A and B are shown apart, each in its own frame.
Chain A
Amino acid sequence: METSRYLLSILVDNEPGVLSRIAGLFSGRGFNIDSLSVATTDDPDVSRITMATTCDAQVIEQIKKQLNKLINVITVNDLTEKKYVERQLALVKVHAKPEKRAEILRIVDIFRCRVVDVGHSHYTIEISGDNGKHEAFLSLLKPVGIIEIASTGAIALARETGK
């Protein structure tokens, strides 16, 4: 079957061990996690996990059912079934030799990123956007010379009023 990328937004009890239950479910059943992002919500008893995974339609159905089966999982929302906004934050440290600085700043400008740290021979750039924007940005910076990257997983919310 054909695989595609799914983005799940999971509300869970904010308790010790919950992330381990979810991670264990994925490793134990051979499901794949592309990225994972966790933080508490406005309700301190509830955390939101945003998870990206790549699989086929039958597997995503099992993933959703198995997640729902965990006692600490409150809701599982498959954002890929609806419209949603997605963001991912990354810090990208690049070589910034004098002759390359203008080019880097131009790319930063085009992608509406920010330079958050400058050294004699490097820039650190903050980028926020969806997966596609990150990929495009990094492919342009690659020839300049990326030193290292720190990136969050995707976070996302549905484009609708309710939860």
Chain B
Amino acid sequence: MKLTGAQILVKMIKAQGVDTIFGYPGGATIDIHDEVVRHDDLRHILVRHEQGAVHAADGYARAHKTTGVALVTSGPGATNTVTGIASAHADSIPMVVFCGQVPTGLIGNDAFQEVDIVGITRPCTKHNYLVKDPDKLATTIQEAFYIARSGRPGPVLVDLPKDILQAQIDFQIPEETRLRSYKPNYTPNKKQIAKVVQMVKDAKRPVIFAGGGVIASRASEEVTRLAQMARIPVTTSLMGMGAFPGTDPLWLGMLGMHGTFRANMSIGHCDLIIAVGVRFDDRVTGNISKFAPHAKIIQIDIDPTSIHKNIPVQCPIVGDCKTTLEHILALMEKQHSAELTVERDQWLDQIDQWKQTTPLKYDQKADVIKPQFVVEKLWEITKGQAIITTEVGQNQMWAAQYYHFDRPNHFITSGGLGVMGFGLPAAIGAKAACPDKLVVDVAGDGSIQMNIQELMTAVENCLDVKIVILNNRFLGMVRQWQEFFYNRAYACTNIENAPDFVKLAEAYGAAGFRCTDPACVEDTLRKGLDTPGTVIMDFVVEREESVYPMVPAGGAITEMLLV
């Protein structure tokens, strides 16, 4: 069967079970876009900037537990995807980005809208391809999806020269992908499993530390069972939010620079950390030499490079988080459960004491809205059911602290790279994946302006996202550092000169509400969430509110600045 390269591309994308792609056309992709619109079962969402396409694909992948797809043109179209790709790479999100490229004969000639995107994205993709041989197009696309979603997931970029897209190619469905140089190991070593169970038995003050790997391998149920069976308290990284119910008594809250007092103190005093799908990022560990000084560490990760990278580990296990936890649970179930939970009361009492003496707190007075109050009310009103995306900075931390996530895939944030402007397009992607879910972008007034053009995408495609702006007229997180560490010299962080977000919403065909009075926060949220379509809720909040606790950079995580 003869097909054009563009036809093969669309056929192969659909064969991967993808029903929605996010794209922006250009000279090099006209053939693809011309083909895409002929397929009713493949929805193309036209974004307003290529960065938005990649973040939307990211949000789609996380909410839908599948692979996100972005489609952009050569040159500037391709370079505009780099931030989104790097973010997906840092957060291990399965994604395939297709870029148009100048015809093969022009590659290397500095042609119009030519850029070496394979070279540019080499360090921030899991793998990438330039397709030069039309006969390898179908297998390459299949390989790209296979690599993106297997092992530790990540973004894969495929560069498609225009002549390949136009070529008439003999199409055959490729055989199942097998790569001799890439065979992720999912099954853990049995001896290590026995060691884990023994270490848990020996531990008096254990903590489970779950990360994004738990979400990626869909292991939150296993984490929860392990915690409850052996009465082990649980903390997570930012990427792990939702891996364990945020309303469970064993929940410690988030760990790290803005972690809860009890989570950070627990790590400082525990004698065992069961680390699942985490990479001990510097925002979590603080000063590495002072991290968990009394603890032995079990680390489960599918990526061997994550183990032993920053922190020495006594029991490393390379394997899929879910599979490994299943093995551990199976072995534990055979054992007497009393043996596992013996002497845990004292430890849990200690943690409870930390929780009582030093909880997360803020003081909502009558005159000015506290940003934390807005997030907490949002959680109450939505009964914790919404998918929350965030921008980056204070809004992100308050969302993590005050929206108590009970299930995975409901907190979508640019954790590793920290991309401002992520939340709105990611929310659009999440809404496209889960049309029946309420999707809320918790934003700051700074970061919402970074991809504000995507409001049009949301409105045009009826992807109703609700945007909650915590508007403090500052680039708040940097301001906070300036307050603490730079003598309150607020260099370049005052952004009082801002658009009228209500009018801005209206200009795009969305609805806008403003709230300046603490007494009206709840009403505004209800009104905004009940209003059909895309809505901006602009909450004018306390200007100089800070995120607490805070571990100053380079400090031990038990040394926190508290309110």
A68 with B126: CB separation less than 8 A: no
By size class, the interface of chain A is 10 to 19
B270 at the interface (CB under 8 A from A): no
* Known A24-B122, A28-B123; contact A71-B182, beta-carbon cutoff 8 A: yes
Residue of A nearest to B143 (CB): A71
By size class, the interface of chain B is 10 to 19
Chain A residues near B130 (CB-CB < 8 A): 17
Residue of A nearest to B152 (CB): A69
Chain A residues near B304 (CB-CB < 8 A): 65, 68-69
Give the residue of A13, A24, A61, A71 whose beta carbon is less than 8 angstroms from that of B123: A24
Contact with A along B180-209 (1 / 0, CB 8 A): 111000000000000000000000000000
A74 with B305: CB separation less than 8 A: no
- How many A-B residue pairs have C-beta atoms within 8 angstroms? Tell me: 35
Chain B residues near A62 (CB-CB < 8 A): 305, 308-309
B305 with A69: CB separation less than 8 A: yes
Chain B residues near A12 (CB-CB < 8 A): 181
Residue of B nearest to A69 (CB): B305
Shortest beta-carbon distance from B316 to chain A in Å:
11
Chain B residues near A28 (CB-CB < 8 A): 123
Report the bound CA distance from A65 to B207 in whole Å: 27
Contact with B along A17-48 (1 / 0, CB 8 A): 10011001100100000000000000000000
A77 at the interface (CB under 8 A from B): no
Contact with B along A42-85 (1 / 0, CB 8 A): 00000000000000001001100110110111100000000000
A69 with B147: CB separation less than 8 A: no
Q: Please report which residues of chain A, range 105-134, place their CB below 8 angstroms from some CB of chain B when the two chains form the complex.
A: none
B181 with A71: CB separation less than 8 A: yes
Chain B residues near A72 (CB-CB < 8 A): 181
* Known A17-B122, A24-B122; contact A66-B305, beta-carbon cutoff 8 A: yes
A21 with B122: CB separation less than 8 A: yes
A61 with B122: CB separation less than 8 A: no
Chain B residues near A61 (CB-CB < 8 A): 308
Chain A residues near B225 (CB-CB < 8 A): none
Contact with A along B114-147 (1 / 0, CB 8 A): 0000110011001100100000000000000001
A20 with B119: CB separation less than 8 A: yes
Q: Please report which residues of chain B, range 172-186, place their CB below 8 angstroms from some CB of chain A when the two chains form the complex.
A: 179-182
Report the bound CA distance from A88 to B308 in whole Å: 34
Residue of A nearest to B156 (CB): A71
Shortest beta-carbon distance from B299 to chain A in Å:
13
* Known A28-B123, A62-B309, A66-B305; contact A71-B118, beta-carbon cutoff 8 A: no
A71 with B179: CB separation less than 8 A: yes
Contact with A along B2-18 (1 / 0, CB 8 A): 00000000000000000
* Known A17-B118, A20-B119; contact A71-B309, beta-carbon cutoff 8 A: no
B391 at the interface (CB under 8 A from A): no
Report the bound CA distance from A73 to B119 in whole Å: 18
Shortest beta-carbon distance from A25 to chain B in Å:
8
B91 at the interface (CB under 8 A from A): no
Residue of A nearest to B318 (CB): A65
Shortest beta-carbon distance from A72 to chain B in Å:
6
Residue of B nearest to A15 (CB): B129
Chain B residues near A69 (CB-CB < 8 A): 303-305
Chain B residues near A58 (CB-CB < 8 A): 308
B309 with A74: CB separation less than 8 A: no
Report the bound CA distance from A21 to B118 in whole Å: 10
Report the bound CA distance from A97 to B97 in whole Å: 64
Report the bound CA distance from A54 to B395 in whole Å: 44
Chain A residues near B126 (CB-CB < 8 A): 71
Report the bound CA distance from A54 to B65 in whole Å: 42
Chain A residues near B123 (CB-CB < 8 A): 24-25, 28
Interchain Cβ contacts under 8 Å between A and B, 28 examples? A12-B181, A13-B181, A17-B118, A17-B119, A17-B122, A17-B130, A20-B119, A20-B122, A21-B122, A24-B123, A25-B123, A28-B123, A61-B308, A62-B305, A62-B308, A62-B309, A65-B304, A65-B305, A66-B305, A68-B304, A69-B303, A69-B304, A71-B127, A71-B147, A71-B179, A71-B182, A73-B181, A74-B180
For the A-B complex with A65-B304, A74-B181 known, give 16 more contacts whose Cβ atoms are closer than 8 Å: A17-B118, A17-B119, A17-B122, A21-B122, A58-B308, A62-B305, A62-B308, A62-B309, A65-B305, A66-B305, A69-B304, A71-B127, A71-B147, A71-B179, A71-B182, A73-B181
